[in-house]
A and B are shown apart, each in its own frame.
Chain A
Amino acid sequence: MITFKNIHKSFGDNEVLKGINASVPTGSVTVILGPSGSGKTTLLRSINFLEKADRGEIILDDLHIDVEKVTKQEIHEIRQRTAMVFQSYNLFKNKTALENIMEGLIVVKKISKAEAKEKAIIFLEKVGLGSKGDFYAHQLSGGQQQRVGIARALALNPDVILFDEPTSALDPELVGEVLEVMKKIAQEVNCTMIVVTHEIGFAREVADHVIFMDGGVIVEEGTPEQVLGAPKNERTKQFLARYVSFTEYNI
């Protein structure tokens, strides 16, 4: 269970998060939707302190962090228990795909090199890239890079995986392969997933819980059926209208 209590964050005069309260049950898939600039990514990044919120509390099971009084140890611990998949993949450029996955296992989990390699190969196969282990990031396509990014996160066996717009930088053809892998993880791996995305279809199909944010607050949340099927809030309806019309065009 991961809980946010009254999270606030400003960049200068611009208040990006205006008191977020939410909780995500263990093992669930939670999708955060919302227009650009609504604070979704900032909220996600404040969990592992890539962005330090100004005040509020973040609670991950027994780890209770008051953001204002956070210590280095606490940041280190929450980072060890979470993993992140980035919009721009952020694979380590000086390492091969396999080494990218091994890195965290060796350095953070202190597993021996041979064992880490075995484990890395298993995860690389899990995302369908068993044959690409010795390739560097620049030799892989965007979709492949992102799948390695997902394998890197998975291999650490984190309590929570944070997905920061994992498909936004991909062309439509490659989006599918990444979403496929994410679906597979949601079904097979019992770890909490928090996904910031614009893929409404993915939310509808995979999410247990949908949060809709706008202007730094949570406007509406609930099951996909509630939020996407029968939105109550005007702003949510307005946002979803465009996506609904898309599907109508396709028909």
Chain B
Amino acid sequence: MSSYFSVDYMIKAFPTLLSYIDVTIIVTIVAELFGIVIGCVVAFLRIHKVKVLNQVCLLYLSFIRGTPFLVQLYLVCFGLPQLLQGLGYQDIRSIPGLLFVFLIMSIHTGAYIAEIMRSSILAVDKGQLEAAHSIGMSTYQAYIRIILPQAFQLAIPALGNNVISTLKGTSLIFNVGVVDMLRKADLMGSYSYRHLELYVDIAIIYVLLCFVIQVATYFLERRSTLGKELAS
């Protein structure tokens, strides 16, 4: 059996692979944070049909949703530096590659969150904005204090989904030279010739991470006041 599958090696390699989990987590967190900011702004511009910017947003959404993530990753991580060099910026090597990964992951996630937020903002009762206006709040104040807090509560299940897909999406970034868990497994495998054990390890780590996110989403949903309202 051990010649086909070495449990010992699988267990031995696990801590090493696990030590690369930080890349996955950091990229996910950065992408989600910026993605939420981008998403909220785009959702607002779309709902209020702000001139010109609304069209720009539409273009952005259809580009991101219409191209594979890997293509976007190559465009930004390989194409963009070349473009910058062509434009006369020679110091391109001084920019860490991870920065380009952060950039495209945020832009990519932002597009999906924009649609999530748009639907959940539209799901907030129109009377809430009217009430805020009626007591003299500006639209901006109403969004920050009333509309978005409610929209986020409605969006928790969909956002949880988005975090999971972003997390799994990070497994592609080894393609542009970032060493994450998966890349480490590749490298280790080319020495030990035991790829199967290493990939099983990776799968286990991803399953555990996603499980944590699912549990967190569940508890957030239970805690939210709107959730209680819907349940009651």
Contact partner of B136 (CB less than 8 A), chosen from A80, A88, A93, A137, is A80
**B131 CB-CB contact with A under 8 Å:** yes
Contact partner of B228 (CB less than 8 A), chosen from A49, A83, A88, A138, is A138
Residues in A whose Cβ lies below 8 Å from that of B165: none
Evaluate contact between B150 and A91: CB separation under 8 angstroms. Answer: no
**A104 CB-CB contact with B under 8 Å:** yes
User: Residues of B with Cβ closer than 8 Å to A?
Assistant: 125, 127-128, 130-138, 141, 145-146, 149-150, 153, 225-226, 228-229, 232
Evaluate contact between B232 and A138: CB separation under 8 angstroms. Answer: yes
**A112 CB-CB contact with B under 8 Å:** no
User: Residues of A with Cβ closer than 8 Å to B?
Assistant: 48-50, 76, 79-80, 82-84, 86, 88, 90-95, 103-104, 107-108, 136-138, 152-153, 156, 162
Alpha-carbon separation in the docked complex, A165 to B225 (Å): 27
Evaluate contact between B131 and A91: CB separation under 8 angstroms. Answer: yes
Known: A86-B130, A90-B128, A138-B229. A104 touches B136 (CB 8 A): yes
Evaluate contact between A153 and B136: CB separation under 8 angstroms. Answer: no
Evaluate contact between B146 and A94: CB separation under 8 angstroms. Answer: yes
CB distance from A156 to the nearest CB of B (A): 6
Known: A107-B141, A138-B232. A94 touches B153 (CB 8 A): yes
Residues in B whose Cβ lies below 8 Å from that of A86: 127, 130-131, 134
| 29 A–B contacts from the bound complex (CB under 8 Å) | A48-B133, A48-B134, A76-B136, A76-B138, A79-B135, A82-B134, A83-B134, A84-B134, A86-B134, A90-B130, A92-B128, A92-B132, A93-B125, A93-B150, A94-B150, A94-B153, A94-B225, A104-B135, A104-B136, A108-B137, A136-B229, A137-B229, A138-B228, A138-B229, A138-B232, A153-B134, A153-B135, A156-B135, A162-B134
Alpha-carbon separation in the docked complex, A83 to B176 (Å): 57
Known: A90-B125, A90-B127, A136-B225. A107 touches B133 (CB 8 A): no
Evaluate contact between A107 and B228: CB separation under 8 angstroms. Answer: no
Residues in A whose Cβ lies below 8 Å from that of B132: 92
Evaluate contact between A152 and B135: CB separation under 8 angstroms. Answer: yes
CB distance from A49 to the nearest CB of B (A): 8
Task: Give me 20 other A-B pairs in contact (C-beta within 8 A), A48-B133, A50-B133, A79-B133 excluded.
Answer: A79-B135, A83-B135, A84-B130, A84-B134, A88-B127, A90-B127, A90-B128, A90-B131, A92-B131, A93-B150, A93-B226, A93-B229, A94-B149, A94-B150, A104-B136, A104-B137, A107-B137, A107-B145, A137-B229, A152-B135
